[in-house]
Structure 1
Amino acid sequence: MRIALIEPDLKYAKLVSRLVFAGGHMCQHFGASASFLERAPDEFFDLLITESWAGDHPAEDVIPRARAILPGLPVIVLMSEPRESEIVAALNAGADDCVTKPVRGPEMLARVDALLRRTGLRRPLNRRRDVIAGYSFDTANFSVTFREQTVALTPKEFRFALLLFSNLSRPVSRAYILETVWSRRRDVRSRTVDTHASRVRSKLELRAERGFCLTPLYGYGYQLDAIPAEAVTETG
């Protein structure tokens, strides 16, 4: 997962970054909230960890601004010897969790993983063939078979489609799409993701009359839903 860290203390930021990396996540450090908010629309993140004083603004002010850019973004606030009133203020501002500094490695990773589990995202399994909702994915040939037809996809289209089907009825963030399909490359533009989504929708016939709906989630990512047969009959 892609995690943003706002921490004015460079030494402490390196410590938290190492912990997050040890947990298998990518961490991008920002010294203040302004630089994070500027980069968030293009970088996309699955989780924000911020100091209670985010270098230029308190976390209570940063959280709503971050969620205006990335709706639903989970947030952990780091606090040094916090008073109850500070914890309450952060939680009331929308923080999902508060962690007291200095952080303890195992506890920090457990809290990060617990928050990310709430998103329910699944990585596609590394199998040669997978069948999901009537679509058969052939990893060796980057092809998908459905309704007695086989369609060839590019490797990235295939990974994108398999990611969506593996997370059927779950919102998938652009950050997670970039990490899974483009291997965390930062030079991939938002338009490129949208173009691949359009191609996958067209090639795999992800339309309401075919029983599926691929929806762009503004400022977040995409969600693929299966439409119940009775609903398809009504719309047809």
Structure 2
Amino acid sequence: MRIALIEPDVQHAKLVDRLIFAGGHMCQHFTTSATFLLRATDEFFDLLITESWAGDHCAEDVIPLARSILPGLPVMMMITEPRESQIVAALHAGADDCMSKPVRGPEMLARVEALQRRAGLRRPANRRRDVIGGYSFDAAHFAVAFRGLTVILTPKEFRLALLLFNNLARPVSRAHILETVWARRRDVKSRTIDTHASRVRSKLQLRPELGYSLVPVYGYGYQLDAIPLESMTGAG
């Protein structure tokens, strides 16, 4: 994952950076939220880790600004000797997780991996079949069964479809897609992602009248939403 770290304490930032690197991720350090927000307009990040004081603003104020640029961005907040009220306030402000500062290596990496799993970036090798929203994914045969049909996808189409369903109602960045489907290859053209998304939409019949909508998120990636059929019936 590409992780953004907002930490005014440079020494602590170096510790976090080493831990993130040891966990197989890439870390970009910022001492203020302003510098991060500026960079986020041009670069994608899969996760934001921020100190409760983000150098120039409270993290609670930074979270909505970050997500206005990178929709659905997971956020982890670091708090020195956190009180229960601080943790509650952070979670109410939109943080996905909180951890004590200074961080403890194994705990921090475990929390990062938990957020990564929640985002559907990696699937354990022993998880051969997933059933999500009426679609059954068979990883052994790259097959998807739904409404009495079984469709065989290419391996990349299968990984893209599973990633989208694991992030239902949540935008998935092109960076996430590249990392998951194309194993971080940066020479993949944007059009290739669009073509695969179009094939997944067609093969899995992801149409509003059938309960799903797969649409591009301008300048970001793709989002799959479930559309209650009763709401469409009522609208008609």
**TM category, shorter:** 0.5 to 0.7
Q: Which runs of 5+ in 1 are unaligned?
A: none
Corresponding residue for residue 8 of structure 2: 8
Q: CA deviation at 1:190?
A: 6.3
Cα distance change of structure 1 residues 213 and 52 upon mapping to structure 2, 3 Å threshold: closer
**SS of the counterpart of 2:176?**
helix
Q: Which runs of 4+ in 1 moved over 6 A?
A: 129-140, 142-152, 187-191, 230-234
Q: How many pairs align? A: 231
Corresponding residue for residue 207 of structure 1: 207
Computed over aligned residues only, the root mean square deviation of the Cα atoms, in angstroms, reads 4.6
How high is the sequence identity, in percent, across the aligned residues?
A: 63
Q: Which runs of 5+ in 2 are unaligned?
A: none
Cα distance change of structure 1 residues 199 and 3 upon mapping to structure 2, 3 Å threshold: same
Instruction: Establish whether residue 223 from structure 1 lines up as the match of residue 216 from structure 2.
Output: no
Say whether the 8 Å CA contact 1:31–1:55 is kept in structure 2: yes
Cα distance change of structure 1 residues 160 and 42 upon mapping to structure 2, 3 Å threshold: farther
Corresponding residue for residue 121 of structure 1: 120
Correspondences of 1:149-164 after superposition (within 5 Å): 156-164=156-164
C-alpha distance in structure 2 between counterparts of 1:63 and 1:18, whole Å: 24
Q: CA deviation at 1:200?
A: 3.0
Correspondences of 1:9-48 after superposition (within 5 Å): 9-48=9-48
Q: More relative contact order in 1 or in 2 (CA 8 Å, sep 6+)? A: 1
C-alpha distance in structure 1 between counterparts of 2:209 and 2:93, whole Å: 42
> TM-score if structure 2 supplies the norm length?
0.66
Q: CA deviation at 1:164?
A: 3.5
Corresponding residue for residue 94 of structure 1: 94
> TM-score if structure 1 supplies the norm length?
0.66
C-alpha distance in structure 2 between counterparts of 1:27 and 1:162, whole Å: 26
